[in-house]
A and B are shown apart, each in its own frame.
Chain A
Amino acid sequence: MNAAAALIQPQVPEQVLTALQGVVDPEIPVLTIEDLGILRDVRMAGDEVVVTITPTYVGCPAMVEIRENIEKALGEAGVEAFRVETSLSPAWTTDWMSEAGRRKLLEYGIAPPSPRSVACPQCGSEDTRLISEFGSTACKSLHQCNACLEPFDHFKCH
């Protein structure tokens, strides 16, 4: 656990946490919302579970689906009273991505956020070039490896 991990109140029942651990990003389904750092806070307000999430980019279209998936997961886990809140501050950063998240991204073929040279997720070469500042989603840029020639996505530093 690092400082950026979600704050989880000890009173929150285990079934809630298990359910939340199954909620993944719809665009990058190997990452859970906890891996991504968008799950910020889980607490009890009386009998009600309050889940707080934060958007990655202001226009991220996945936020609606993520919220619905959280509601679905909690409903299926038999949690009766819950609500999902969104907070903007502090602003999300890729520094909040977990180590497990970075590893899973790499295995999935997406280079994890790197402020300097972006290594190819296929062959590991650092001899790569930027093709476009935006890849298939707002959170990724498009690169190509000069060694193995594979194009790949990089999860941008943000």
Chain B
Amino acid sequence: MNDTSKFALALGDDALTMGQRLSEWISHGPFLEEDIALANVALDFMGRARMFLSYAGELEGEGRSEDDLAFLRDTREFTNLLMFELPIGDFGQTIARQYLVDAFEAPYFEALCNSKDETIAAIAAKVVKECRYHLRRSRDWVIRLGDGTEESHQRMQDGIYEMWPYVAELFEMPEYETRLAEQGIAVDRDVLRAGWEKEVMATLAEATLSAPQDGHAIRGGREGVHTEHLGFLLSDLQFMQRAYPGLEW
């Protein structure tokens, strides 16, 4: 795989794992409207995964389709960031992850709209509008739950603590991504850090929540070194194609 193919694969894997996790909420949402909303956000991530994985396969040039890449790779070949694969936990944990990711992705995909790779720029232009909408919703939930009842506050705070060690990875780049950023194809993630911190700190303050200060960071997703949770996620996602290769819906 060349650099751009790896980059598209990584963005596709992020979207696929998040879409799969969110879809676990279907029929388990806290109430009907929220169930539908979570499913719709999942759908946005799945659509994004399809576009990036198709493009990664096309660039690779070995005939692998989006389905081959989604269903026929094992954990070590997945390059999603760790935060995206973590279990959904309770609603507070799901919303904590969603907000921390949305707050990164809205400005990230806005910047990626200027990519010199036309396909990546076109996908980013579609995705950014959805990210902004997701952010509006997840921010609202963080504030409502954080500044809500004693229990909702505690669950929201626990969610933020649980997700925080995985934030550092959002701003890190493997070598191929740094090379692509120098060529104007990818975006320097570190440039987005200050804006992200400003957005998140303001929301946490309004939600009467706090962020951990210890700087503990867990990383490895882009190198294919994952948490134990990814294998379980894939066993669910890939079962049908593994048990019945080539099965069509």
Contacts and interface: CB of A to CB of B under 8 A. Distances in A.
B127 A58 contact: yes
Contact of A91 (B46, B129, B133): B129
- Interface SS of chain A: helix, strand, loop or mixed? loop
A128 to B, nearest CB: 16
Nearest to B41: A134
B45 interface: yes
A89 B43 CA distance: 20
A89 B133 CA distance: 20
Contacts of B137: 133
B48 interface: yes
Taking residues whose C-beta sits less than 8 angstroms from the other chain, chain B's interface range is 20 to 34
A100 B51 CA distance: 32
Interface in A42-62: 55, 57-61
A57 B33 contact: no
A91 B126 contact: yes
Nearest to A156: B133
B123 interface: yes
23 contacts: A55-B47, A57-B130, A58-B44, A58-B47, A58-B51, A58-B130, A59-B44, A59-B45, A59-B47, A88-B126, A89-B118, A91-B122, A91-B125, A91-B126, A91-B129, A131-B33, A134-B36, A134-B37, A136-B36, A137-B40, A138-B43, A138-B44, A158-B133
Interface of A: 55, 57-61, 88-92, 131-138, 142, 156, 158
Given A58-B126, A131-B33, 17 more contacts: A55-B47, A57-B44, A57-B126, A57-B130, A58-B47, A58-B48, A58-B127, A88-B123, A90-B125, A91-B126, A132-B33, A133-B136, A134-B40, A136-B36, A138-B44, A142-B33, A158-B133
